[in-house]
A and B are shown apart, each in its own frame.
Chain A
Amino acid sequence: MSQTRYTREHEWVRLDGAVATVGITDHAQTALGDIVFVELPEPGREVAAGEECAVVESVKAASDIYAPLAGRISETNAVLADDPALINRDPAGEGWFFRLTVADPAAFDALLDDAAYAAFVAESA
Chain B
Amino acid sequence: MPDTPPPPTESPPLRASPLAALHASLGARMVPFAGWSLPVQYPGGILAEHRQCRERAALFDVSHMGQASLTGPDAATALERLALGDLAGLRPGRQRYSLLTNDAGGVLDDLMVANLGDRLHLVVNASRTTFDFAHIAAALPANVRLEPHPDWALLALQGPLAGQALARLAPDTAALPFMGVANIDIGNIPVLVSRSGYTGEDGFELSVAADQAETLAKLLLDQPEVAPAGLGARDSLRLEAGLPLYGQDLDEFTTPVEAGLGWAIGKRRRMAWDFPGAPTIREQLDNGPPRLRVGLLPEGRAPIRAGVSVLAADGATVGLVSSGTFSPTRDAPIAMAYVQPHAAADGTPLTLMLRGKPVPARVAPLPFVPHRYAR
Task: Give chain A's interface residues, CB within 8 Å of chain B.
Answer: 9-11, 24, 28, 31-34, 36-37, 39, 55, 57-66, 81, 84, 124
In the complex, what residue of chain B is closest to A55 when comparing beta carbons?
B355
Asked if B314 CB lies within 8 Å of chain A CBs, one says no
User: Given A37-B326, A60-B40, A60-B46, are A31 and B301 also a contact pair (CB < 8 Å)?
Assistant: no
Asked if B45 CB lies within 8 Å of chain A CBs, one says yes
- Evaluate contact between B325 and A63: CB separation under 8 angstroms: no
Q: Which residues of chain B have C-beta atoms less than 8 A from A61's C-beta?
A: 3, 305
Q: How many of chain B's residues touch chain A, expressed as a range? A: 20 to 34
Interface residues of B in 34-84 (CB under 8 A from A): 40-41, 45-47, 50
Chain B 261-303 interface 0/1 with A at a Cβ cutoff of 8 Å (1 = within): 0000000000000000000000000000000000000000111
- Evaluate contact between A11 and B1: CB separation under 8 angstroms: yes
Asked if B2 CB lies within 8 Å of chain A CBs, one says yes
Closest CB of chain B to A96's CB: distance in Å? Answer: 15
- Evaluate contact between B2 and A59: CB separation under 8 angstroms: no
User: Given A59-B325, A59-B328, A64-B1, are A34 and B303 also a contact pair (CB < 8 Å)?
Assistant: no
Closest CB of chain A to B297's CB: distance in Å? Answer: 15
- Evaluate contact between B326 and A63: CB separation under 8 angstroms: no
If A37-B333, A59-B326, A124-B4 are given as contacts, then 13 extra A-B residue pairs at C-beta distance below 8 Å, sorted by A number, are: A10-B1, A31-B2, A37-B303, A57-B303, A57-B326, A59-B46, A59-B47, A59-B236, A60-B40, A60-B235, A62-B303, A63-B1, A64-B1
- Evaluate contact between A65 and B1: CB separation under 8 angstroms: yes
Q: How far is the CA of A57 from the CA of B46 in the complex (A)?
A: 13
Q: How far is the CA of A17 from the CA of B50 in the complex (A)?
A: 44
- Evaluate contact between B305 and A36: CB separation under 8 angstroms: no
- Evaluate contact between B45 and A63: CB separation under 8 angstroms: no
Asked if B232 CB lies within 8 Å of chain A CBs, one says yes
Give the 3 A-B CB pairs with smallest separation, nearest first.
Answer: A31-B2, A36-B326, A9-B1
Q: How far is the CA of A31 from the CA of B355 in the complex (A)?
A: 23
**Residue in B41, B235, B325 whose beta carbon sits within 8 Å of that of A33 in the complex:** B41
Most chain B CB atoms below 10 A, which of A11, A34, A39, A57: A34
Q: How far is the CA of A68 from the CA of B321 in the complex (A)?
A: 32
**Residue in B45, B301, B355 whose beta carbon sits within 8 Å of that of A34 in the complex:** B45
Task: Give chain B's interface residues, CB within 8 Å of chain A.
Answer: 1-4, 40-41, 45-47, 50, 232, 235-236, 301-303, 305, 325-326, 328, 333, 355
- Evaluate contact between B4 and A60: CB separation under 8 angstroms: no
| A-B residue pairs in contact (CB < 8 Å), sample of 8 | A33-B41, A33-B46, A36-B326, A59-B303, A60-B40, A60-B235, A60-B325, A63-B1
Q: Which residues of chain B have C-beta atoms less than 8 A from A66's C-beta?
A: 1
- Evaluate contact between B46 and A39: CB separation under 8 angstroms: no
Q: How far is the CA of A36 from the CA of B329 in the complex (A)?
A: 13
Q: Which residues of chain A have C-beta atoms less than 8 A from B47's C-beta?
A: 34, 36, 59
Closest CB of chain A to B289's CB: distance in Å? Answer: 31
Closest CB of chain B to A120's CB: distance in Å? Answer: 11
Q: How far is the CA of A124 from the CA of B6 in the complex (A)?
A: 11
Q: How far is the CA of A81 from the CA of B305 in the complex (A)?
A: 19
In the complex, what residue of chain A is closest to B331 when comparing beta carbons?
A36
- Evaluate contact between B232 and A33: CB separation under 8 angstroms: yes
- Evaluate contact between B232 and A24: CB separation under 8 angstroms: no
- Evaluate contact between A34 and B1: CB separation under 8 angstroms: no
Q: Which residues of chain B have C-beta atoms less than 8 A from A64's C-beta?
A: 1
Q: Which residues of chain B have C-beta atoms less than 8 A from A124's C-beta?
A: 4
Closest CB of chain B to A125's CB: distance in Å? Answer: 9
Closest CB of chain B to A7's CB: distance in Å? Answer: 8
Q: Which residues of chain B have C-beta atoms less than 8 A from A10's C-beta?
A: 1-2
- Evaluate contact between B305 and A62: CB separation under 8 angstroms: yes
- Evaluate contact between B2 and A63: CB separation under 8 angstroms: yes
Q: How far is the CA of A30 from the CA of B130 in the complex (A)?
A: 35
Q: How far is the CA of A32 from the CA of B4 in the complex (A)?
A: 11
Q: Which residues of chain B have C-beta atoms less than 8 A from A36's C-beta?
A: 47, 301, 303, 326
